[in-house]
Amino acid sequence: MAKLKSVQSVRGMHDILPEDQTHWKFVYKKASVLLDDYGFGKIDTPIVESSGLFLRSVGEETDIVSKEMYSFKTRGGDELSLRPENTVGVARAYIEHGMSSWPHPVKLWYWGPMFRHDQPQAGRYRQFYQFGTEIFGDDNPAADAESIFVALTFLESLGFKNLTLKINSLGDSNCRPRYLKVLKEFLKSKTKQLCAPCKIRVKENILRVLDCKEESCQNVIKEAPQMIDHLDENCRSHFKKVIEFLDEVKAPYMLDPFLVRGLDYYSHTVFEIVLDETAKTVVPENEKTASGEAVFKGLTLVGGGRYDGLVSLLGGAKTPAVGWSAGIERIILAMKTLGLKVPDTKQQPRIFLAQLGDFAKRKSLVLFEDFRKAGISASTSLGRDSIKAQLRIANRLRVKFAVIIGHKEALDKTAILREMDSGIQEIIPMDSIIESVKKRLKG
């Protein structure tokens, strides 16, 4: 077998270590409680889907599909892909499980890893977690507003304050083609000023020119016709109502006429939530890492919009829908950089079990489980033989009591209960040790 060059994770993919889990658990808990309150049901879909599903829906010309998908052929000849996003998978599940016959709207949320063969950098990975919501079967602007409001509330519940909601309308299949024609004429007249990729985008995926960051393109985009001026009556009215809702809840929104998003299936409302420039990092200047700083360079925490055509595009009935997704790694990175506090939910042990000899160790393992069942968190170090070394650990853990079992105690069915501060020890029958410890911990 070929020897591994080095033992490390695949580029752009990373481990989430025990020390990081406090943040992950906190964010997950906030997400699940909030979405439960708002009536969303959780759905888990497979990490792998048919490649065709994404080609048809996200768009063959999009970066995600044309450059970033992890696709492979199985031994059985199926063309599959690791999911680059999850709206499409959830829409597939909506059709497959006949959810169109469920009471509407059908409100779902998901949490799980996504895969994009992107250029790894701070806040941008090849495997990353997204948490998101989808509302199916509601074409009312109130559903757009509710989605946005829930996303903002989620971020605020994590402690974020300096948020900006960028919002735009992409119109629908009625008015967008007319706008694209106008935009194409304009961009063709400026071809010389566009960067090489944008020259191709004009032909293949023209809206993406609008979010090109190249300076020469930016100068052109500033002058470009805007979708907002080409919305038909229906689309304008939808967008106006969304904005009225956002005014009502005092959402920190900003109209961004050039916000287009990277997926083809959006119609009407599109939005992103970013940290604005007033967000202050708590990391001192000399300790700033590239990864921390990148959070403030326009990386988006949440992105979403309305996608009324997706379900029918995948073969289901015409079903209006709206949703968003949030990048969890990015959110946690931002929380750490901003110094947002997370309560430490790790249970501190209240007692320590020390034991001498194999027989006592076996008894101790059973006793550990008895304490756990009684709701008393214990710590032990079964690998250590010296009682002195074990009591040193007990001291370090600052537990009030140690329960010590030697060979004699194991034979006599007793245990020594030691009060750590005073060093006073008592011999207690094994069958009443849990009760004795309980009483002393209360007292």
Residue 72 CB, shortest distance to ligand AMP, in Å, is 19
Contact between 196 and 170 under an 8 Å Cβ cutoff? The reply is no
406 binds ligand AMP, rule: CB under 6 A? no
Q: 378-380 and 351-355: which strand pairing?
A: parallel
- Given 145, 302, 399, 404, the residue binding ligand AMP (CB under 6 A): 302
Stretches 100-108, 116-124, 170-178, 428-436: which one binds ligand AMP (CB under 6 A)? 116-124
Site string for ligand AMP, 247-266 (x = CB under 6 A): ---------------x----
Residue 93 CB, shortest distance to ligand AMP, in Å, is 17
CB nearer to ligand AMP: pick between 105 and 327: 327
CB nearer to ligand AMP: pick between 26 and 125: 125
Residue 176 CB, shortest distance to ligand AMP, in Å, is 19
Distances (CA, A) of 286 to 283, 293, 296: 8, 12, 16
Whole-number Å distance between alpha carbons of 59 and 65: 7
143 binds ligand AMP, rule: CB under 6 A? no
Site string for ligand AMP, 308-327 (x = CB under 6 A): -----------------xxx
Residue 129 CB, shortest distance to ligand AMP, in Å, is 8
Residue 87 CB, shortest distance to ligand AMP, in Å, is 8
- How does DSSP assign 244-305, residue by residue? HHHHHTT--EEE-TT---S-TT-EEEEEEEEE-TT----S-GGG--HHHHHTTTT-EEEEEE
Which residue bears the tokens 């710590």?
Answer: 379
Tell me the backbone φ, ψ of residue 349, rounded to 5 degrees: -65, 145
Q: Could you tell me the two tokens for 266? A: 């959006």
What is the arrangement of strands in the sheet containing 48-50, beginning at the earlier edge strand?
48-50, 79-82, 71-73
Give the CB-nearest residue to ligand AMP.
327
- 366 burial type by CB count under 10 A (0-12 exposed, 13-18 middle, 19+ buried): exposed
Distances (CA, A) of 64 to 61, 68, 172, 401, 441: 8, 5, 22, 57, 57
Contact between 308 and 172 under an 8 Å Cβ cutoff? The reply is yes
Residue 272 CB, shortest distance to ligand AMP, in Å, is 7
**Which residues within the stretch 69-88 sit at the binding site for ligand AMP (CB under 6 A)?**
85
Residue 277 CB, shortest distance to ligand AMP, in Å, is 18
CB nearer to ligand AMP: pick between 309 and 406: 309
Summarize as ranges the residues that interact with ligand AMP (CB under 6 A).
Answer: 85, 116, 118, 124-125, 128, 130, 262, 300-303, 325-327, 329-330
